[in-house]
Structure 1
């Protein structure tokens, strides 16, 4: 009888664990393949891009993407930017410049994200002094976003904070030890944020 009860308890434990993993359980850290910088952001109309050609400043430009989705690059002419990754645009410009420049080296950087403004924002909610929705900037971290919200309130439970990120049809919650970040300088969970992220700081139980 004890053996049967023991097996039943094990089965229940496994079932509960499976349910927890499929219902948005907290993940320890964003996986490496989750986009966290603007390098994974597809350029949109009105975004401002900087095209830099190494050792050829006269061929380098900074310009917004026109309504037709194109930018105009010296010697190359119109290049489609909208809907593409910066690296894809850089490779096309580099390929076309090869006709005029010996071994050109081209980089394309997003300097302003003006399109898809709603999706390209980072939001901080909960027990912070000023809940905010701020424009995403390349290199932004959890700490940057929380400081923009004025920091946490005296009612916060900062070490139970979470970074919520869309992953396909699901939303994943990454645990953030915000107290350790703010008061101990422990940056282990000071994750780089991505466009559309939501950071939530819960209140502590009274």
Structure 2
């Protein structure tokens, strides 16, 4: 008996990475499992979870496996097998995961199905998407059970707010739209009114200087940044003289894609 326990301990230590991987995983339809009952050769077998969520166990017949963690299924099988085996020691190993997936859609990235073969966070998934830098992360969201559980992925991926990260679950859906307008428009009393391709962190004075700077008719204290967010529009005032003379950095506001920078003319 002592030898039996010692050998079991060695077996469990050897398989520890597999058990740690599947510790909180829920078995689903299509997954492949390895069932083993220590000392009973006839009860060591591979099995695939059927579409109805069940597996067939010799001596027990059909057993529901879908929705259970491997450890829970082990306990359930051990209780059932007590009628056939004295003190059964059961192990359940997830050999192949086919059930756990995340669905990625939207015009901002290539549609894909991501296999959750290991614990994966939202940030880790975003880092695997090649087109995410040109996507509209501010209007992206994560769906779980038909409900939005995370919106505005810009804070997480671009600003590095790790507090916005979360662990993905099976059947999550990630919607990422295309960033339709990646330009900033500088108009009015500047030397070269133009559309400038938006760059991360671009500020209003940077855009004005890139448009040739203020012309001789410009009223530097009358600069407006017009921004549209959904159906709402807002106008942000910028007083450049306060920035130049008083060093008021709050005037040099950060721009967003689609912003219009309007420099008004002076009446004098």
Q: Radius of gyration: which is bigger?
A: 2
State the 1:93 CA deviation.
1.3
**CA separation in 2, counterparts of 1:180 and 1:138?**
25
Residues 77-156 of structure 1: pairs in structure 2 closer than 5 A: 78-81=61-64, 83=66, 85-86=68-69, 89-98=73-82, 100-102=85-87, 104=89, 106-107=91-92, 109=94, 111-113=96-98, 121-126=101-106, 128-154=108-134, 156=135
Distance 1:66 1:121, change over 3 A: closer
Partner of 2:175: 200
Could you report, residue by residue, the CA deviation over 1:109-128 in whole angstroms, capped at 9, with x for unpaired residues? Answer: 473225xxxxx532223364
State the 1:173 CA deviation.
1.0
**CA separation in 2, counterparts of 1:100 and 1:130?**
52
How many residues end up aligned between the 2 structures? Answer: 154
Unaligned runs of 5+ in 2: 1-23, 182-256, 259-268
**CA separation in 1, counterparts of 2:159 and 2:39?**
46
State the 1:180 CA deviation.
4.3
Unaligned runs of 5+ in 1: 1-36, 115-119
Structure possessing the higher relative contact order (Cα contacts under 8 Å, 6 or more residues apart): 1
- Normalising by structure 2, we get a TM-score of 0.43
Partner of 1:14: none
3-state DSSP class of the match of 1:85? coil
Could you report, residue by residue, the CA deviation over 1:39-73 in whole angstroms, capped at 9, with x for unpaired residues? Answer: 2x5x33x42123366x7796654432358842336
Distance 1:49 1:185, change over 3 A: farther
Distance 1:131 1:78, change over 3 A: same
**CA separation in 2, counterparts of 1:149 and 1:187?**
18
